[in-house]
Every structure is written in structure tokens, then in C-alpha cells.
Amino acid sequence: MKFRRGDIVGRYIPETLVTRERGEAFAPANIALVKYWGKRDVELNLAQTSSLSISLGQLGTTTVITASDGADRVIANGRRLDNDDVFAARLLRFVDLFRAGREDQHRLLIETNNSVPTAAGLASSASGFAALTKALDAYFRLGLPMRVLSALARIGSGSASRSIYDGFVEWHRGRSGDGMDSFAEPLAVTWPDLRVGLLVVSSKKKPIDSTTAMNRTVETSELYRNWPVQVERDLKTIRTAILDRDFDTMGRVAEHNAMSMHATMLSAWPPISYWQPETVKALQQVWQLRASGVSIYVTMDAGPNLKLLFEAKDQTRLEETFPHLQMVTPFST
Ligand code: PMV
């Protein structure tokens, strides 16, 4: 049986919507250490595999929802967007799932602010849909459990399921057709010395969006057949490494997993690559640094920029090599 987004979200919405004056929420951005790449259901964003991420502390999205006296209005980072702007339209389509059929009674002003500088090359959809889901939950007084919030955020954007939580987070792929067993959960581990460095090497526009790229990879890459096997093994190893605070094992698995994901894209047809010449240069610098004895690892998503993983003891060395590195301390709070 094929499930539709509206039917799934509708299960959690009461007959009468009672609103609060204001619904406000923050959600952190996240970086996957074991990646989500490939959907088993495109409508509901159900993943082929589970994945595991680290949330980026204070970097993320704050969203405030209040009633609008006229039409719906979306303000992103202080700028009023047209409602048919791609971002605003995607956001409003998601909001419509919550007020289905009652749009006229609930016209909304949605203000959303990213603390991630847009140039940092971090996808804002994960923190954006997680913050929006939490803000809708508050505004419509739904009081939904975290697992449900995570599963609903996933319908907005797969990786948003993980941005519901701080720290290390695992998104379970789930098995059911309606996807309600496909939600994320936090790992009870803190790691104050862990650092993530955002290295922007290019701000060129993405050649292809992640959904199209995933679908093409699943359909045409022979290497992809091995992807679920590797992910299962990587998840097992990385969970233990995180619990043991074994930085080198964690970093090695994360880098190997990211490079393998990019290899599946390169082996799709037509091939997909998010890398730019600057990406390769920076990767080689990272590998040289590691060869000289520094414990540094790298992960990359659907874009040309690098995310470096290291520990506090190596921070100065890293800042010398990469002066423009933006430092994130995931466990600062
Ligand atoms: O949630 P989406 O559709 O933006 O896909 C995210 C895909 C990756 O960032 C490449 C991997 C991941 O697990 O976040």
C-alpha cells in the first residue's frame, strides 16, 4: 500500500486546531558521519539505510510562527520571500500538511533565521524542516512525542529527522510502509573535545539537487549495490567508536563512508560529482596533514565543501593550515 504525506501527518492533527499566540523553535544543523544516500520511498523520504550524524550545537535555524492577518508570509533571514519562491513554496507545502483544508482559518507569518552563514555550504533544509516541525507543534499545541516530530520532519527533508536532537544522532531506516518507524534517536554520549571545522572552498551552485542525485545513483550505479552492506558495517563500528571515544576509528569510518558515497555517485550514469578542483586540493592537504601525524579526518555532503573532524588538541595546528576554517564545538552547551 502506498501512503501519502497528507494522510500520515493528518493522523496527528486534531479535528479542531487550537493555536498559541506564537510557536518558536530552534534546531541545529547536522553532519552525517555515516551518510543517508538513496531513498526507498521518495514521497515520504524513507531511506534505503540508517544513518548517523553529529548536530552542530548553536549553528542551525530558529523559526517563529504567528498568525498573519492577510495572506501567508515567509520571511527568511530578514527578507520577505514571494510565496512562489522555491524555498517559500516548499515550506508552505509542508505547513499545508498540518492545516489541511483549514488554510483560510490559519494564515501564518513564518519567520526563519539561520545562524549558519549561508556561505558555509551547509544544507539548511535539515535544520530548517526540524525547526519548522517543532514550531508547528508548538503553534498548534500538538504536543507530539519526539519520535513523531522526527518522523514528520523527515517528510520535509530526510536529514531533518536527525536535526530534532543535539549531539550524536542515529536515524533508523525503518521497515513499515507508512514510515512511522523511520525516526531518529540521540546517542547518550557527550564529547566536549570534539571539533568540526567547516572549510568552504567554493560557493558555486550545486549542479544537481540531492533527491535527483540519490535517485539516479540508486537506479544506475552498480557500486550502489554494496552501499547498504558498507553502511551496516560502518554503523556498527562507529557506534562502538563513539561510545569508547575512539577518535581515530570514528574519523576513519566517517571519511571512508563519505568517500564511498561520492564513489557511488561517480559510478552513476550520467555521472555525478559535486567536487570542484579546490575540493581535491583541500582533500590532499588534509591527507598530507594526516600523513604527518595529525589526527584529522574529512567528510563531505552533496556539495564541494569539506567538513573536518578533529579534537581540541589539534585546533591550533588546523587553524594554521586552514586560516578560513569555521570552528564548531558540537558539545559546547
Ligand atoms: O536530507 P537531504 O535530502 O538534504 O539529503 C542529505 C544527503 C546528505 O547530506 C548527502 C547525507 C546526509 O546523510 O545528510
Confidence of residue 101 (pLDDT cuts 50, 70, 90): confident
Q: Is 201 exposed, middle or buried (0-12, 13-18, 19+ CB in 10 A)?
A: buried
- C-alpha 1/C-alpha 4 separation (Å) is 10
- How far, CA to CA in Å, does 186 sit from each of 108, 149, 189? 31, 13, 9
In this predicted model, what pLDDT tens digit does every residue of 57-75 receive, in sequence order?
999 999 999 999 889 999 9
Please state the rounded mean pLDDT for residues 292-310.
Answer: 96
- For residue 1, what pLDDT is reported? 78
Q: What residues are in contact with ligand 1 under a 6 Å CB criterion?
A: 32, 35-36, 51, 123, 125-126, 157-159, 210-211, 301-302
Mean pLDDT, residues 281-295 taken together: 97
- Inter-helix orientation angle 146-156/125-139, to 10°: 130
| DSSP-assigned letters across all residues of 198-227 | EE----PPPSS-HHHHHHHHHHH-SGGGGH
DSSP 115: S
DSSP per residue, 147-200: HHHHHHHHHH-GGGGGGGSSSEEEE-----TT-TT--EEE-S---TTEEEEEE-
Are 308 and 328 contacting, i.e. CB atoms less than 8 angstroms apart?
no
pLDDT > 70: percent of the chain: 98
pLDDT, tens digit, for every residue of 139-159? 999 999 999 999 999 999 999
Q: Measured at the alpha carbon of residue 100, what is the angle toward residues 140 and 95, in degrees to the nearest 5?
A: 60
Which pLDDT tens digit goes with each residue over 12-65? 999 999 999 999 999 999 999 999 999 999 999 999 999 999 999 999 999 999
Percent of the chain surpassing pLDDT 90: 90
pLDDT attached to residue 116: 79
The CA distance from 11 to 237, in Å, is: 37
Q: Give per-residue pLDDT as tens, 177-220.
A: 999 999 999 999 999 999 999 999 988 778 899 999 999 999 99
Residue 102: Cβ within 10 Å count: 12
CB 152 within 8 Å of CB 160: no
Cα 322 from Cα 134, distance rounded (Å): 36
Owner of C-alpha cell 554503523: 235
**208-246 per-residue burial string, b: 16 or more CB within 10 A, e: under 16:** eebeebbebbbeebeebeebeebbeebbebbbebbeeee
Per-residue pLDDT at 120? 58
Instruction: Calculate the CA 319 to chain-centre distance.
Output: 26
* Interval between CA 210 and ligand 1 midpoint (Å): 7
Amino acid at 217: T
CA distance 331 to 314: 17
Q: Whose CA is nearest to atom 9 of ligand 1?
A: 301
Q: How large is the average pLDDT for residues 318-330?
A: 94
Ligand 1 mutation pick, 159, 257, 260, 274, max ligand atoms within 8 A of CB: 159
pLDDT at 118 over 80: no
Give the pLDDT score at 29. 96
Predicted pLDDT of residue 124:
78
Q: What pLDDT does residue 136 have?
A: 98
C-alpha cell at 322: 586552514
Mutate to test the pocket of ligand 1, among 31, 36, 224 (most ligand atoms within 8 A of CB): 36
Report the pLDDT value the prediction gives residue 205, as an integer from 0 to 100.
78
